[in-house]
């Protein structure tokens, strides 16, 4: 199936087409925050006032994706989010505590649900077609993508708007920091992989894709395959899963131009990738992406967006050093990424 | 009245409005300020949070929340009853 268009709001300049990843935006913090566009160009002023940041990011990326595709009404809208609308959730829970559980802030409560963004996109478009939201931790985006793929394969839809949205709030950052997810103190994201230490950097993002069965004149890329696997016991199992994935899709690693891997700067987490780079990936060029967007459960959507952009342009964005690659256009990309070494994802993307 | 308008602006996140943009007798709903049913819920919460007033009878809502002035009069009347 084909990726007709994309749109991505992230901690990097990824939204405006002429600015895409020209320079890395550096953060001296363990938390990367999205660069937000001017929402008024995309959302009615009357609606904006009620929307929290993640809802605005979600509906804006979805709207831009549809605009890029020249599609006004998708046959289906499928979203994936692990955390949902955290800001609204935190707000109404805090108010409930403050007012001894006697009062509920209606707007925050109504909009705190995980399917709010998909619902808002449908409402804004007056689109009554299939609308579903997937909330499966580190497989939230992958589940949404799998649903979109099946809808297309079974001809339930000719095009599907699929996206992933997750935000980090001060409250969630504090809680997840207590769980030891993030590095202590400030760190520059450009140097994320320079020193081995515990923890990663928090991230967030809103990435949307319009998938279709049939190619159009402006296709970005071809999404050849998606595979997920859960809690592998060791690196050998991961290697086995990757090899099986490649065999099923009749492609050899030597024919893959680039591998995007999900290192996140956490020494324990990154061991897996480093072992793979010494074994089955040893003859391939690999690049990282989580220093750009941070770590979050739906970060694989950023990787898919990046892979799509690379095969569309045929080359790496300016933020990457290119000396390891040949001059030939990049036509095929394998994404291998995992979330906390629990949720593992493989994506195969190629040029049209 | 200005304080009440500020509270309404904050509660409903009416970002582009200032108190002077809302007329004392301007209709708050539909053809006036354009508020809707969710805003009505927020206004009920505002009364409870700021003035400890519980709207006991839902049928009173349309009359109470008609304008800023009717809201202010309702609050004043309620405070006088309770003092």
A 109-138 residues with CB < 8 A to B: 110
Which residue does chain A place closest to B48, by CA atoms?
Answer: A103
> Taking the CB of residue A233, how many other CB atoms lie within 10 A of it?
7
Q: How many CA atoms lie within 13 A of A231 on its CB side?
A: 0
Both structure tokens of A251 = 């492609």
Residues of A in contact with B14 (CB under 8 A): 49
Task: Please enumerate, as own/partner, the contacts of A193-198 that have beta carbons within 8 Å and a separation of 24 or more.
Answer: A193/A263, A193/A265, A193/A270, A193/A288, A193/A291, A196/A267, A196/A270, A197/A265, A197/A266, A197/A267, A198/A266, A198/A267, A198/A268
Q: What is the pLDDT along chain A (352 residues), one digit of tens a residue?
A: 999 999 999 999 999 987 789 899 999 999 999 999 999 999 998 889 999 999 999 999 999 999 999 999 999 999 999 999 999 999 999 989 988 888 888 999 999 999 999 999 999 999 999 999 999 999 999 999 999 999 999 999 999 999 999 999 999 999 999 999 999 989 999 999 998 899 999 999 999 999 999 988 888 899 999 999 999 999 999 999 999 999 999 999 999 999 999 999 999 999 999 999 999 999 999 999 999 999 999 999 999 999 999 999 999 999 997 666 667 899 999 999 999 999 999 999 999 8
ipTM score here? 0.83
Closest to A143 in 3D by CA, of A15, A14, A297: A297
A82: closest CA of chain B, how far (Å): 27
Chain A residues in contact with B48 (beta carbon < 8 A):
102-103
Contact list in B for residue A47 (CB cut-off 8 A) is none
**Which among A49, A50, A106 has the least Cβ separation from residue B45?**
A106
Q: Give the gap in angstroms from C-alpha B14 to the nearest C-alpha of chain A.
A: 6
In the CATH scheme, what architecture does the domain B2-14+21-82 have? Answer: Orthogonal Bundle (1.10)
User: Which of B42, B53, B54 is most worth mutating to test chain A (most A CB atoms within 10 A of its CB)?
Assistant: B42
**A49 Cβ under 8 Å from any chain B Cβ:** yes
Which residues in A lie closer than 8 A to residue B15 (C-beta atoms)?
A: 48-49
Number of Cβ within a 10 Å radius of residue B43: 23
**Domains (ranges, CATH) in chain A?**
2-212 (3.40.47.10), 222-350 (3.40.47.10)
Contact B42 A49 (CB under 8 A): no
CA-only gyration radius of chain A, Å:
20
Does A99 contact B at CB distance below 8 Å? yes
Work out the burial of residue A271: count CB atoms within 10 Å of its CB; fewer than 13 is exposed, 13-18 middle, 19 or more buried: middle
Beta-strand runs (E) in A128-278: 130-134, 159-166, 205-212, 221-230, 258-261
């Amino acid at each position: 199936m084909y990726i007709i268009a994309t749109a991505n709001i992230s901690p990097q300049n990824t939204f405006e087409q002429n600015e895409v990843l020209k320079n890395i935006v550096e953060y001296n913090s363990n938390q990367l925050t999205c660069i937000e566009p001017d929402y008024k160009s995309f959302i009615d002023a009357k609606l904006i006032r009620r929307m929290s940041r993640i809802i605005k990011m979600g509906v804006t990326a979805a709207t831009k994706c549809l605009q890029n595709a020249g599609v006004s009404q998708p046959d289906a809208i499928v979203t994936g989010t692990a955390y949902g609308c955290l800001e609204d959730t935190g707000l109404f829970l805090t108010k409930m505590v403050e007012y001894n559980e006697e009062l509920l802030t209606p707007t925050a409560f109504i909009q705190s649900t995980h399917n709010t963004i998909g619902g808002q996109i449908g409402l804004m478009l007056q689109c009554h077609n299939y609308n579903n939201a997937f909330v499966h931790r580190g497989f939230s985006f992958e589940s949404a993508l799998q649903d979109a793929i099946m809808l297309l394969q079974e001809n339930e839809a000719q095009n599907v708007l699929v996206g992933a949205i997750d935000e980090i709030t001060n409250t969630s950052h504090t809680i997840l920091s207590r769980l030891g997810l993030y590095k202590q103190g400030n760190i520059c994201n450009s140097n994320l992989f320079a020193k081995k230490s515990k923890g990663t950097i928090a991230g967030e993002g809103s990435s949307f894709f319009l998938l279709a069965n049939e190619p159009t004149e402006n296709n970005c890329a071809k999404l050849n395959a998606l595979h997920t696997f859960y809690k592998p016991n060791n690196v050998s199992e991961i290697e086995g899963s990757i090899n099986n994935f490649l065999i099923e899709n009749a492609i050899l690693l030597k024919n893959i131009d680039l591998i995007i891997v999900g290192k996140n700067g956490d020494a324990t987490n990154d061991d897996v990738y480093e072992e793979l780079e010494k074994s089955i990936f040893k003859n391939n060029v690999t690049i990282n992406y989580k220093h750009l967007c941070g770590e979050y459960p739906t970060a694989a959507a950023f990787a898919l967006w990046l892979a799509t952009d690379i095969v569309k342009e045929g080359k790496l964005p300016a933020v990457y050093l290119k000396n390891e690659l040949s001059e030939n256009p990049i036509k095929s990309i394998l994404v291998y990424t995992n979330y906390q070494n629990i949720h593992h994802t493989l994506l195969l993307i190629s040029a049209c | 009245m200005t304080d009440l308008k500020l509270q309404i602006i904050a509660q409903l996140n009416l970002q582009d409005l200032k108190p002077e943009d809302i007329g004392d007798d301007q209709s708050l709903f539909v053809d006036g300020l354009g508020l809707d049913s969710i805003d009505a819920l927020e206004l009920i919460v505002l009364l409870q949070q700021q003035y400890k007033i519980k709207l006991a009878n839902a049928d009173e809502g349309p009359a109470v929340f008609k304008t800023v002035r009717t809201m202010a009069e309702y609050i004043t009347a309620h405070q006088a009853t309770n003092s």
